[in-house]
Amino acid sequence: MDMFWNIYSKRLLSSIRNKDQLIWIWAFPLIMATLFYFCLSSVSQSDNLESVPVGVVTDTAYEEDQMFNQVLEQVGSGEDAILKVTEYAQRDKADSALEKGDIDGYILIRENIPQLVVKQDGINQTILKSFLDRYVQTEGNIRSIMEKNPDYALDFEGIMGGDTLTEEISLSSQPYSPVVNFYYALIAMICMYGGMQGLTSITYLQGNLSALGARRMMAPLGRIRVIFYDLLASATVHIMSLLFLLFYITVILRVDFGDRLPLLVLTCLAGTILGVAFGTAISCLTKLGENMKVGILVSITMFCCFGAGMMVSGMKYIVDQHMPIISWLNPAARISDAFYCLYYFDDYQRYCQNIAVILAMAAGMFLLSAFSLRRQNYESI
């Protein structure tokens, strides 16, 4: 136990004091999460359309068109109003408001036909144009109904909004979020960066790569035990960084990851094991210098994160559809998909499949590393 605590505690202190690892697994994730928050917060709010500010010239022609008056009154009232209507007695006042940007366009009646005046093209201007086009198309039917049944209360908002006979439902208890996948891919990337911990641990145990490794190889203790103690300390430091990142995203940035916090932590732990195993495999299976190994680790990690959808939205879905085998062999994609399953799926079948694949990958990498280390011998140290 004394030997375990001696190796374990020293490795903990070494990892915490490593400046490169402090940057990559502590500072860098927080910076990326913060950038995601500011860059993607507007995306999550883009589905909430606000009322379009529009003006109307209330001249004699407008006053005589009672039906259009009723339509504007109904679609411009209520909390979820399509339009925010402002009346102008004269056209020059409407032109002035349009020039200042107070409204996105204004409507005036000419020859019993509503006409739209805008300053520039845009989403709101397109909405206004579509609204007037739909009104003109349905005007005849509306007039016919009102002439035959003057007391009938027409739902102008429903008519102009284009109600359908289908109802949109969600297959999950969680609301759809277009941004959580980016955070999941970020956490998957940091899990893979646990490879730096594994790589450093193996480097410190190889006599041909460092003076420390030469001294440790001469110690009267079994190599497997030393490696196990060392990697356990490395995994401890890395899971601490992941839990801090998870705390920062969910508590400080207030990103909703659902209500399955224990399983989120379990997924981070599985991802940490895979990341550390990834680093040990690269360190054991290549004879390059430490800097070159780090370069290989970072390059492979970024490529995997690209396939997991961190850089391009929807990339993970594209890979799943066209190259499913590659997707299942992508460790970053499996980690992010495990988070995805916890957020959207009510059952645990696919989540368990992802965790099983993650642990199987980690076991395979550890076995390759152990086989490689057993074959390493030194003629002299």
The pLDDT of residue 47: 52
* Single residue among 100, 127, 161 that ends a domain in this structure: 161
Q: What is the DSSP letter of 80?
A: T
Most confident of 112-126, 140-154, 304-318, 347-361: 347-361
The pLDDT of residue 151: 60
258 Rama class: left (phi>0) / alpha (psi -120 to 50) / beta: left
Between 32-41, 97-106, 219-228, 341-350, the lowest mean confidence (pLDDT) is in: 219-228
DSSP 3-state assignment of 110?
A: strand
Asked if residue 194 belongs to a domain, the reply is yes
Q: What number is the average pLDDT over the span 47-76?
A: 79
Token pair in block for residue 275: 């990341």
Q: Are residues 196 and 133 in the same domain?
A: no
Q: What number is the average pLDDT over the span 95-110?
A: 89
Element (H, E) at 57: strand 52-57
Q: Which of 101 and 359 is assigned the larger pLDDT? A: 359
User: Based on the structure, what is the number of domains in the chain?
Assistant: 2
Q: Are residues 80 and 216 in the same domain?
A: no
Q: Are residues 27 and 140 in the same domain?
A: no
Using the Cα atoms of residue 141, residue 145, residue 150 and residue 155 in order, give the sign of their dihedral.
Answer: negative
Q: Are residues 188 and 297 in the same domain?
A: yes
Q: Are residues 204 and 304 in the same domain?
A: yes
Q: What is the mean pLDDT of the chain?
A: 82
The answer to whether 316 touches 327, Cβ cutoff 8 Å, is yes
pTM: 0.69
Asked if residue 127 belongs to a domain, the reply is yes
Residue 121's domain is classified under what CATH number? 3.40.190
Asked if residue 174 belongs to a domain, the reply is no
Q: Are residues 184 and 288 in the same domain?
A: yes
Asked if residue 381 belongs to a domain, the reply is no
The pLDDT of residue 218: 61
Distance CA 362, CA 274 (A): 5
The answer to whether 267 touches 355, Cβ cutoff 8 Å, is yes
Token pair in block for residue 314: 């929807």
Q: Are residues 347 and 215 in the same domain?
A: yes
- Rg of the chain over Cα atoms, rounded to whole angstroms, equals 31
pLDDT digit string, tens, across residues 61-73: 888 887 788 778 8
Burial of 287 (0-12, 13-18, 19+ CB in 10 A): exposed
Asked if residue 283 belongs to a domain, the reply is yes
pLDDT at 173 over 50: yes
**H helices present in the chain, as ranges:** 2-17, 19-22, 28-44, 60-64, 66-75, 91-100, 123-148, 156-161, 180-192, 195-203, 211-217, 223-247, 261-285, 290-307, 315-322, 324-329, 331-344, 349-374
* Single residue among 98, 133, 161 that ends a domain in this structure: 161
Asked if residue 171 belongs to a domain, the reply is no
The pLDDT of residue 164: 45
Give me the domain span that covers residue 356.
2-44+180-374
Q: Which of 147 and 238 is assigned the larger pLDDT? A: 238
Q: Are residues 197 and 102 in the same domain?
A: no
Asked if residue 284 belongs to a domain, the reply is yes
pLDDT digit string, tens, across residues 182-219: 899 999 999 999 999 888 888 777 655 666 666 666 66
Q: Are residues 345 and 230 in the same domain?
A: yes
Between 8-12, 42-46, 267-271, 357-361, the lowest mean confidence (pLDDT) is in: 42-46
DSSP 3-state assignment of 56?
A: strand
Asked if residue 12 belongs to a domain, the reply is yes
Q: Are residues 199 and 310 in the same domain?
A: yes
Between 19-33, 57-71, 211-225, 250-264, the lowest mean confidence (pLDDT) is in: 211-225
* Single residue among 128, 161, 194 that ends a domain in this structure: 161
pLDDT digit string, tens, across residues 293-335: 889 999 999 999 999 888 887 888 889 889 999 999 999 999 9
Q: Are residues 206 and 353 in the same domain?
A: yes
Q: Are residues 14 and 138 in the same domain?
A: no
